[in-house]
Amino acid sequence: MKNNTITFIGGGNMASSLIGGLIETGVATEKLRVADPELEPLAAQWKIQCYTDNLTAIDGANVVVLAVKPQILSDVAKSIATAMPSSPPLFISIAAGIRIADIARWLGANQPLPIVRVMPNMPALVRSGASALFAGQYVNDTQRELAENILRAVGLTLWLEDEAQMDAVTALSGSGPAYFFLLMEVLEKAASALGLPQETARLLTLQTAFGAAKMALESQEDAGTLRASVTSKGGTTEQAINTLQAGGLQNLFDQALHAAQQRATSLAKQFGEQ
């Protein structure tokens, strides 16, 4: 990976996170480029090659990371198509919801284009992300490994065998941080209502969430077994769990993820028609 030139089209939070992660893993700054209309914050943060012109930035690049908003990816890709080299780079798209077929069409599908689609999530900003990847038909093994290494710089990576699963990933891990933030929010409020000072409730909530996640990551047991291990029969935890289950918690999450998945599918169709 260290011998490849990587260009980021778009310099937002996710691109900045990936750039920082790659530098931490030892990628030389001269191998990293970014194209964005607003260069001053990027140039100040990272001593890398910065451009305002996309076509100049991708010239000679081995990898092009499409890190723009889904709404403008069509225009960006079509502009790149006007200067597509005879030996195309690996394209990695982190634009939520955009199908590989649509990206290929916009880039100019008159030649085989290696495209990897990625669904990262917000914890990538603190190098603790979860990214699901799907490789298009023209991506070779070396390019798969390269894409995986780039995303691994900011957290966990998993490959999908079916692009249709990406909408479910969006509903789970893409939107998932918000679900946990919501849970932390309601726990803090409930604890404050029981009489705990707000700051005490906040710190206990955060550390408990962190500790539970760390235990789950380091354990060989599944979440259900871990839950049972801290739920003594007739105890306080059992009372709380019974209340949550009686309130239809599982059904609520079933509905929530289904709604998010359906919205992801709808947006993909909408953006793909551009």
Domains annotated on the chain, with CATH: 6-169 (3.40.50.720), 174-267 (1.10.3730.10)
In the predicted model, what is the mean pLDDT of residues 178-186?
Answer: 98
pLDDT per position as a tens digit, 131-155: 999 999 999 999 999 999 999 999 9
In the predicted model, what is the mean pLDDT of residues 198-204?
Answer: 98
pLDDT band for position 110 (50/70/90)? confident
pTM score: 0.92
pLDDT per position as a tens digit, 31-67: 999 998 887 677 777 788 899 899 999 999 999 999 9
* One-character DSSP codes across the chain: -TTS-EEEE--SHHHHHHHHHHHHTT--GGGEEEE-S--HHHHHH--SEEES-HHHHHTT-SEEEE-S-HHHHHHHHHHHHTT--SSPPEEEE--TT--HHHHHHHH-TTS---EEEEE--GGGGGT-EEEEEEE-TT--HHHHHHHHHHHHTTEEEEE-S-GGGHHHHIIIIITHHHHHHHHHHHHHHHHHHTT--HHHHHHHHHHHHHHHHHHHHH-SS-HHHHHHHT--TTSHHHHHHHHHHHTTHHHHHHHHHHHHHHHHHHHHHHHHT-
Q: What is the pLDDT of residue 271?
A: 85
Average pLDDT over the chain, rounded to an integer: 94
